[in-house]
Amino acid sequence: MRLLVSFTFIVISLTSEKMASAERSLFSVEGNVLFPSSPISQQNWAADSRVLLNHGKYIGFVGEDGSFIIDNVASGSYIVQ
């Protein structure tokens, strides 16, 4: 069963990193997922949730506090799901 997670607040923080072999800048995408409280929501919703950039090209895992970090992302525009 897939749960629709409502992203009511996403903080995106870009942090520069250098990739030695390719000499290009990579970044991190960080944020928080706020899950709406409801009687049918699961207690371990974070463990069952993923944050996707560009339909799964990059995948982040959600911590118990709702935070996520996706590292090694090239500069550009992305769809966050």
Residue ranges per structural domain of the chain: 17-74
Q: Hunting for tokens 């935070």 — which residue is that?
A: 67
**pLDDT, tens digit only, all 81 positions of the chain:** 344 444 433 333 333 344 444 457 999 999 998 877 766 566 777 777 899 999 999 999 998 888 999 999 999 999 998
Strand arrangement of the beta sheet that strand 24-32 belongs to: 17-19, 24-32, 67-74
Q: Is 30 exposed, middle or buried (0-12, 13-18, 19+ CB in 10 A)?
A: middle
Q: According to the model, what pLDDT value does residue 65 have?
A: 85
- Backbone phi, then psi, for 23, in 5-degree steps? 55, 40
Whether 58 and 81 have beta carbons less than 8 Å apart is answered as no
Q: What is the DSSP letter of 18?
A: E
Q: According to the model, what pLDDT value does residue 47 have?
A: 77
